[in-house]
Amino acid sequence: MKNNANPSFIKTMLAVVWKDLTAELRSREVFSAMLIFALLVVLIFNFALELEAGTRASVTSGVLWVTFTFAGTIGLNRSMAQEKDRGCMDGLLMAPVDRSAIYLGKMIGNLFFMVAVEVVVIPLFSVLYNVNLLKPGLLLVVLLGSIGYSGIGTLLATMSVQTRTRDMLLPILLFPVVIPLVVAAVKASAGYLQALPMADIQPWLTLLIVYDVIFLSVAWMVFDYVVEE
Amino acid sequence: MDGGLFSMMKLKKSLLILDVITILLVASAAGLVFFYAPLEAVMGYVQKVFYFHVSSAWVGMLSFIVAAVAGGVYLKNGQRKWDITSYAAVEIGVLFAIIAIITGSIWARPIWNTWWTWDPRLTTTAIMTLVYVAYLMLRQGIDDPEKRARFGAVYVIIGALSVPLTFMSIRIFRTIHPVVINAPNGTSAAFDMAPKMLLTFLFSLFAFSVLFVTLLWHRVELGKAQDELEQKKLLSND
């Protein structure tokens, strides 16, 4: 047993991230479910929208973001449900550590899963539809969007797993408040894909950053209230 | 015991007076709209929906702000009455946001030739209503009243922060919604309001604001009674 009763903030946070990654490496539950789901969404869009060369350019960023948001919801639900079902959450909360460190740890874990899915989906999408998505600007937008999404998603998933309706409730809570993020991400991605001038993309990037900053800090501040027993 | 009963009676009396005032105000607002305000030259009778449409949208927005502030105060001090206020404001907000959407559609059908367009105000109002409904669903799924209050407060604050961002994100596109107040000169969307129209409009806004306060008060009283009942049920079960 370690003597250090009050470990530093960063150490706690990393411990939570590490716990999630180790559990995932052993079970591979969350990542595989998210990835398969994301690929199925892309497949369904292929038939629903006929993603052929002519129509593709304007809808690609929309298809990408719908895929990421849906896959993200699955990941958030699984990651929080595991904590709840196996009683891990109670254990975490009993630890004498700063609770915002637990929030950031869970959030980084969720962000990691989302990025892992994106790392597979983006090149695959490029190959399948013969369009180059590996542009630095686009990757930046994907990262900013994922940070905001997992930031607010972690908070709302923590709430939804504690309700009677559980995973059903997460998208209902999450989607209406995540709309500004999705709008900005879709528009910014489309801007980079169509090689628009920076002046057209800038407002969307600013909006993404503003959203990330506001919602990460608010989620961090109120996390205490959604885990209190 | 007697003092409590007495203060309740007194409260009921002031609430009753407010009820009468509200009814008179809303009735006179309707009177002004139909008999005092002049007929708009281009749009005709359908323009009259504007007075109550903007007033309802205003109440819908106001209740969201009240709900978020009450939610914040609840998180800070944990007093039940703030949670009841927040919940009451959301319920009233849903009602008036839906009224605003329906009256807006009635106006838009002849004027824009469509029931609905994806304009920033319309879209934002629709999303605001969805946030409200999500809030109500969240509360329904939680049995413990204390947890229900905390989660509700957190969600209503998140919602109140996200709705203005939604508005901005869609505002970056072009809008066709008329800007009646503070419209820049020379824009086609701005139409001049005759003094009689302006008076009717401001009176409707005022009447609806008083209506909001009255409804909120009633709903808070009801919420307190519900709370009391829940407490008594819990006690009798033990």
What is this structure's pTM?
A: 0.85
- Whether chain B has a CB inside 8 Å of the CB on A199: the answer is no
- The shortest C-alpha distance from B174 to chain A (Å) reads 14
Distance separating the N- and C-terminal Cα atoms of chain A: 27
Count CA atoms closer than 13 A to B25's CA, side-chain side.
21
Work out the number of other CB atoms within 10 angstroms of the CB of residue A107: 25
Compute the distance between CA of residue A41 and CA of residue A48 in angstroms, rounded to an integer.
10
- In this complex, do B155 and A183 lie within 8 Å of one another by their Cβ atoms? no
Compute the distance between CA of residue A190 and CA of residue A193 in angstroms, rounded to an integer.
5
- In this complex, do A225 and B170 lie within 8 Å of one another by their Cβ atoms? no
Residue B7 pLDDT class (50, 70, 90 cuts): low
Q: Quickly tell me which residue has 């002004």 as its tokens.
A: B32
**Closest residue in B to A204 (Cα–Cα):** B169
The pLDDT, as a whole number, for residue A19 is 86
CB pairs under 8 A between A and B: 85
- In this complex, do B165 and A211 lie within 8 Å of one another by their Cβ atoms? yes
In three-state form (DSSP H/G/I as H, E/B as E, the rest C), the secondary structure along B5-36 is HHHHHHHHHHHHHHHHHHHHHHHHHHHHHHHH
Which of B141, B150, B170 is closest, CB to CB, to A183? B170
Burial class (CB in 10 A: 0-12, 13-18, 19+), B228: exposed
Contact between A100 and A220 under an 8 Å Cβ cutoff? The reply is yes
Q: Quickly tell me which residue has 């891990």 as its tokens.
A: A88
Residue B171 pLDDT class (50, 70, 90 cuts): confident
- In this complex, do B157 and A210 lie within 8 Å of one another by their Cβ atoms? no
Q: Residue A183: its chain B contacts at CB < 8 A?
A: 166, 169-170
Q: Residue A172: its chain B contacts at CB < 8 A?
A: 134, 137
Q: Quickly tell me which residue has 């994806």 as its tokens.
A: B118
The pLDDT, as a whole number, for residue B157 is 94
- The shortest C-alpha distance from B211 to chain A (Å) reads 28
Best mutation target among A207, A225, A226, A227 (most B Cβ atoms within 10 Å) is A225
**Closest residue in A to B130 (Cα–Cα):** A176
Q: Residue A173: its chain B contacts at CB < 8 A?
A: 134, 138, 155
Q: Tens of pLDDT along B50-105? A: 888 888 989 999 999 999 999 999 999 988 899 999 999 999 999 999 999 998 88
Q: What is the mean pLDDT of chain B?
A: 82
Q: Tens of pLDDT along B15-43? A: 888 888 989 988 888 888 888 777 776 77
**Closest residue in A to B160 (Cα–Cα):** A177
The pLDDT, as a whole number, for residue B190 is 42
Q: What angle do CA A206, A151, A105 make, to 5 degrees?
A: 130
**Closest residue in B to A177 (Cα–Cα):** B162
The pLDDT, as a whole number, for residue B41 is 67
Residue B46 has pLDDT above 80, yes or no: no
- In this complex, do A176 and B134 lie within 8 Å of one another by their Cβ atoms? yes
Residue B3 has pLDDT above 50, yes or no: no
At residue B12, φ and ψ (nearest 5 deg) are -60, -35
**Closest residue in A to B123 (Cα–Cα):** A179
The pLDDT, as a whole number, for residue A116 is 93
Per-residue pLDDT of chain A (229 residues; tens, 9 = 90+): 344 455 688 888 888 888 888 888 888 888 888 999 999 998 888 888 776 666 676 788 888 999 999 999 999 988 888 888 777 888 888 888 888 888 999 999 999 999 999 999 999 988 888 788 888 889 999 999 999 999 999 999 999 988 888 778 999 999 999 999 999 999 899 888 888 888 888 888 999 999 999 999 999 999 988 887 6
Q: Residue A156: its chain B contacts at CB < 8 A?
A: 155, 158
Q: What angle do CA B215, B78, A150 make, to 5 degrees?
A: 95
The pLDDT, as a whole number, for residue B176 is 56
Contact between B81 and B103 under an 8 Å Cβ cutoff? The reply is no
Compute the distance between CA of residue A17 and CA of residue A150 in angstroms, rounded to an integer.
14
Q: Residue B157: its chain A contacts at CB < 8 A?
A: 218, 222
Which of A162, A180, A203 is closest, CB to CB, to B166? A180
3-class DSSP state of A52: coil
Q: Tens of pLDDT along B110-161? A: 878 888 877 778 888 899 999 999 999 999 999 888 899 999 999 999 999 9
ipTM of the complex: 0.87
Encoded tokens for B65: 């702000």
Q: Which residues of B touch A (CB under 8 A)?
A: 75, 127, 130-131, 134, 137-138, 141-143, 147, 150-151, 153-155, 157-159, 161-162, 165-166, 168-170, 172
**Closest residue in B to A156 (Cα–Cα):** B155
The pLDDT, as a whole number, for residue A134 is 85
Q: Residue A164: its chain B contacts at CB < 8 A?
A: 141-143
Encoded tokens for B183: 């419209």
Work out the number of other CB atoms within 10 angstroms of the CB of residue B234: 10
Q: What angle do CA A211, A212, A218 make, to 5 degrees?
A: 90
- In this complex, do A179 and B134 lie within 8 Å of one another by their Cβ atoms? no
- How does DSSP classify residue B37? S
Domain segments of chain A: what residues?
9-227
Percent of chain B scored above 90 by pLDDT?
Answer: 26
Q: Residue B169: its chain A contacts at CB < 8 A?
A: 179-180, 183-184, 207
